[in-house]
Amino acid sequence: MSNFLFKEFDEVSSNAWKQQIQVDLKGADYNDSLLWKTNEGITVKPFYHKDANIVSPNIPKNNWRVAQLIKVTSTSEGNKNALEAISKGAEAIVFEINKELDVHDLLVNINTNTIELQFKFKLLNNKMAEDLIKLDLPKCYLNIDIIGNLAQTGNWYSSLKEDFKFIKTLISKYPKQHIISVDTSVYQNAGATITQQLAYAIAHTNEYFNNFKDNTLPQIQFITTTGGNYFFEIAKIRALKLLFKTITEAYNNNSNCAILSYPSYRNKTIYDYNVNMLRSTTECMSTVLGGANTICNLPYDHIYHNSNEFGNRIARNQLLVLKHESAFENVNNPSDGAYYIESITQQLAENALEIFKLIESGGGFLAQLKEGTIQRKIKESALKEQEQFDSGAIVLLGTNKHSNDKDKMKHELEKQPFVIREARKTLIAPITPRRLSEKLDKERLEQE
């Protein structure tokens, strides 16, 4: 930062600032009054100073893309919905696919030279994957995450051997394509702290790199979800970039850190649902300022309504307003020089690296999933956060504070908004997303 405007003023050290604060406190204890500790174990201070030794990630101007999620029930309907979203401003489409279909029909009339295509497969299908790769699309991400599927469902698609064989075969034939993703969304949505999310993201990545260390490392895209802790979530994306650079350098690789991000599921509510728009807007802002590449907002009503035109339009327009009316597309590394964010970024990265080392010394991410260690750690963090919500320390406006007792939602429920455990056999305990307000939502519904 230039000192042109401030050269006539003497610099003030951090010690001088602290001494002045002590005077202004008039006898109150500095530590008790102004310091607070987060669930990540980070102590937040009342001020930050440039004399801290901070390593900042290099984040160039971020030409992030506005994405729309399309759940594909048929190729014709999926194609129609995608073209409509593109005509109304979407720059990327996330196709969620849960059955085999003809991907050529799905992409009819879509300008694949300008529109980014993201896929979210609920199955492993070699024909669909190869058909997409052979189209040689310039912006296409398959997002196959066999480890993420194990974490979320408790099972491999087929088996450890067959699943790894599937991706290894694809990557050996098409090493430059974006075939693999590391989906960290389940960790955040299940209640993991930000430090845990980052550590698990890198440990998850390392499992893939270890399996490819004798070959070309695969291109990897991270899928993240962003919670409501605004500045910490900006720092989370930045810390992820730092950590990814650290691990790729260890493998003598210089891959870029691509990130597709969604707003959190964990803090969304049924009652006073319009507040969900505010939550997702600030979450998308954090993601943009942190440096994500593609942002897919979710409708304010997606936890209890089926996909609908109004909800999708609002979700898309939230991003369009941020990009084109709030000028979020024109900012170059906006957090650079913000000592608070820089400090949090460094602490999150350092703390996550320590957890990562513990995971590796304990046999690696897959071994700790199998033992249930990862699940147990997330559950402990989630229970602590739930207790904070139940006591009012964590506030969801309109739900556990300033709620409207006249709100009626029972007639609005088009789909199940609560976790339902299926009776099925799994290899490991699955990591289950759960909203903070579930218990309170149930109680209010029963009282209607």
CA 239/CA 345 separation, integer angstroms: 5
pTM value?
Answer: 0.94
Quote the CA–CA distance of 278 and 252 in Å, as a whole number. Answer: 42
Nearest Cα neighbor of 158 from 171, 172, 144 is 144
Mean pLDDT per 10-residue segment, the chain (448 residues): 61 84 86 89 87 62 89 97 98 97 97 97 96 95 98 96 96 93 98 98 96 84 97 96 94 90 97 97 95 96 96 97 88 80 93 97 97 98 97 95 93 92 88 96 94
Strands 43-44 and 36-37, sheet pairing:
antiparallel
Phi, psi of 296 (to 5 degrees): -115, 100
**How far is Cα 329 from Cα 64, in angstroms, rounded to an integer?**
7
- Name the class of domain 65-340: alpha beta
3-state helix, strand, coil in the chain (%, to 5): 45, 10, 45
CA distance 220 to 239: 16
- Residue 53, pLDDT score: 63
CA distances for 379 relative to 220, 262, 298, 373, 374, angstroms:
27, 22, 25, 10, 9
| Dist. CA 242–CA 345, nearest whole Å | 9
Instruction: Tell me which amino acid residue 16 is.
Output: A
Distance CA 38, CA 265 (A): 21
Cα torsion angle, 427, 433, 436, 438, sign: negative
How confident is the model at residue 62, as a pLDDT?
Answer: 66
What is the predicted pLDDT for the residue at 217?
84
**How far is CA 341 from each of CA 102, 372, 394, rounded to the nearest angstrom?**
46, 33, 21
At residue 69, the pLDDT reads 98
Dig out the tokens for 111 from the structure. 């300008």
Listed residue (105, 109, 117) closest to 178, CA to CA:
117
Q: How many CA atoms lie within 13 A of 157 on its CB side?
A: 20
Give the model's pLDDT for residue 224: 98
Start and end residues for every CATH 3.20.20.240 domain found in the chain: 65-340
The confidence score (pLDDT) of residue 148 equals: 97
**Predicted confidence (pLDDT) per residue in 117-128, tens digit:** 999 999 999 999
Residue 95 DSSP SS3: strand
**Within 251-305, where are the H helices?**
275-290
Position 198 scores a pLDDT of 98
Give the E-state strand segments of 112-212 in sequence order.
116-121, 140-144, 178-183
Among residues 110, 119, 109, the alpha carbon closest in space to that of 91 is found at 110
DSSP class per residue in 33-86: HH-EE-TTSPEEPS---TTS--PPP-------EEEEEEEESSHHHHHHHHHHHH
Residue 233 makes CB contacts below 8 A (sequence gap 6+) with 194, 226, 227, 283, 286, 287, 290
CB–CB of 241/289 below 8 Å? no
Contact 409, 417 (CB under 8 A): no
pLDDT at 93: 98
Spatial CA neighbour of 95 closest among 57, 47, 143, 62? 143
